[in-house]
Structure 1
Amino acid sequence: MEIATQKKPRVLCLHGFRTSGNILHKLIGRLPDSVLQKLDLVFLDGPFPAQGKSDIEGIYDPPYFEWFQSNRDFTDFFNFEECIAYIEDYMVKNGPFDGLLGFSQGATLSAALPGIQSQGVALGKVDKIKFLIVISGAKFGGNKFGTPKLASNAFSKPIDIPSLHFIGEEDFLREEGIALLDAFVDPQVIYHPKGHTVPRLDDKGLKTLLAFIDKIQSMLSNSS
């Protein structure tokens, strides 16, 4: 009986650059039902229509969105504060949410949000972000990306919440995803042979993911 009444973790899902919540919903649908049935997943579109061509044009239908913009070498960021305010507003109106799942640009953003929240510079109106699932993410202030002003102290101390990181052998952000692990106290990792995508999981990856969800569920049950 106890398992049947366990609360499903409610997860806000942030999509990749110039894609959409609907597209991420389809990608996450590759995960088996044994995973999907344990989570209450909510998919949000980024606040800004895509300002250029999307890499997934011709594969997935528009519309496409962005969370924020930057210059070509990722040293200056634009609309980042607006993006955080938009996410916070959505969380206030549609929450509470227990954790975040992000892919690509959405994963890089998700990874910074707990630190931004704990610094007290944003997300003060919503419950503490309790866990993260980061798929093909990167670290602001790493080798590839500079740091938006609002996130300047996001990684000033290790992020002490459960986090699960998907890192692809062929992912162009692989090194950045590995560098991001250092920002967390106890990161769990699923390595997979694919590129910049939401992979289908082998038995080992599935076992890791299910164990992570079980850990989250018992953490939420104990805190309620």
Structure 2
Amino acid sequence: MEESSRNQVPRKPRILCLHSFRTSGRILQKLISRWPENVTGELDLVFVDAPFPAEGKSDVEGIYDPPYFEWFQTDKEFKEFYNFEECLNYLEDLMLKHGPFDGVLGFSQVAALPGMQKEGVALNKVPNIKFLIIISGGRFGGSKFGLPKLAAKAFSSPVGCPSLHIIGELDFLKGESEALLNYFVDPVVIYHAKGHTVPRLSEEDGEKMLQFMRKSKYHCMKSRI
């Protein structure tokens, strides 16, 4: 092995961070900044805004300042989706511009990204997603959400990339989040006592996330050999 290779400092896993419905990248950054520094310090986190201005009231109004954004539009029951393909194209452009990324962190529907990428209907111009961190997860086609055409086969086979699922005991999506675990191979789970939010991490939770990240970092490094 060459001297330069032995002395090279391994880079931190680069993670694309996608905010929740009608919030913003800045808000997600503030929430994640509450995590222990020994966790966030091991990650290269990139926060972005969704492509569309929020078309309705945000649940964080009065807590966090606007502007607020949404990734795509839906009807009130979250059964019909609009501008979904535009959202996927926007994500791909972000990955090309700011990547390459090792993983994706986000709420709910990020769970479908590896499956859509595997099926060849999205993110074809960027490297495969190597791991997911899913907060308050949900599944397109589950009990709470409709099924966009492009995501029809996202969960037709078990999702093999490493996944960390953060689930709130009081989250209205708790049942959906737990059902989502069945579609992933060897999912790692962190439970917290709050609802539909980015929780603070206990010392035990932080160590569990670090273990997940160390394993994922190994896989990232191995894939580049």
**Identical columns (%):** 61
Length-normalised TM-score, structure 1: 0.95
Runs of 4+ that moved beyond 6 A:
none
Q: Distance in 1 between matches of 2:117 and 2:7?
A: 31
Count of aligned residue pairs for this structure pair: 220
CA contact 1:49–1:65 (8 Å) conserved in 2 = yes
Using the TM superposition, give the Cα deviation of residue 6 of structure 1 relative to its aligned residue in structure 2, in angstroms. Answer: 2.1
1:188 aligns with 2:192: no
Using the TM superposition, give the Cα deviation of residue 178 of structure 1 relative to its aligned residue in structure 2, in angstroms. Answer: 0.6
Q: Distance in 2 between matches of 1:3 and 1:221?
A: 15
1:8 aligns with 2:6: no
2:40 paired residue among 15, 36, 41:
36
Indicate the residue corresponding to 1:159 in structure 2.
159
2:77 paired residue among 59, 68, 73:
73
What 5-or-longer segments of structure 1 have no aligned partner? none
CA offset digits 1:22-76 (Å, max 9, x no partner): 0000011110100111000001100100001111111101110000111122221
Indicate the residue corresponding to 1:113 in structure 2.
113
Using the TM superposition, give the Cα deviation of residue 78 of structure 1 relative to its aligned residue in structure 2, in angstroms. Answer: 0.6
Indicate the residue corresponding to 2:175 in structure 1.
175
Indicate the residue corresponding to 1:47 in structure 2.
51
DSSP 3-state at the match of 1:178 = helix
CA contact 1:47–1:83 (8 Å) conserved in 2 = yes
CA contact 1:6–1:217 (8 Å) conserved in 2 = no
1:202 aligns with 2:202: yes
Using the TM superposition, give the Cα deviation of residue 148 of structure 1 relative to its aligned residue in structure 2, in angstroms. Answer: 0.9
What 5-or-longer segments of structure 2 have no aligned partner? 1-5
CA contact 1:7–1:217 (8 Å) conserved in 2 = no
Q: Distance in 2 between matches of 1:138 and 1:54?
A: 19
1:82 aligns with 2:82: no
Indicate the residue corresponding to 1:223 in structure 2.
223
| Rg comparison, structure with higher value | 2
2:104 paired residue among 100, 104, 108:
100
DSSP 3-state at the match of 2:46 = strand
Using the TM superposition, give the Cα deviation of residue 186 of structure 1 relative to its aligned residue in structure 2, in angstroms. Answer: 1.0
Q: Distance in 1 between matches of 2:59 and 2:223?
A: 42
CA offset digits 1:70-119 (Å, max 9, x no partner): 112222111111100100011112211111000xxxx2231100000000
Length-normalised TM-score, structure 2: 0.94
The code of the aligned residue for 1:125 comes to: K
CA contact 1:19–1:66 (8 Å) conserved in 2 = yes
1:59 aligns with 2:53: no
Q: Distance in 2 between matches of 1:65 and 1:96?
A: 24
Using the TM superposition, give the Cα deviation of residue 219 of structure 1 relative to its aligned residue in structure 2, in angstroms. Answer: 1.3
The code of the aligned residue for 2:171 comes to: D
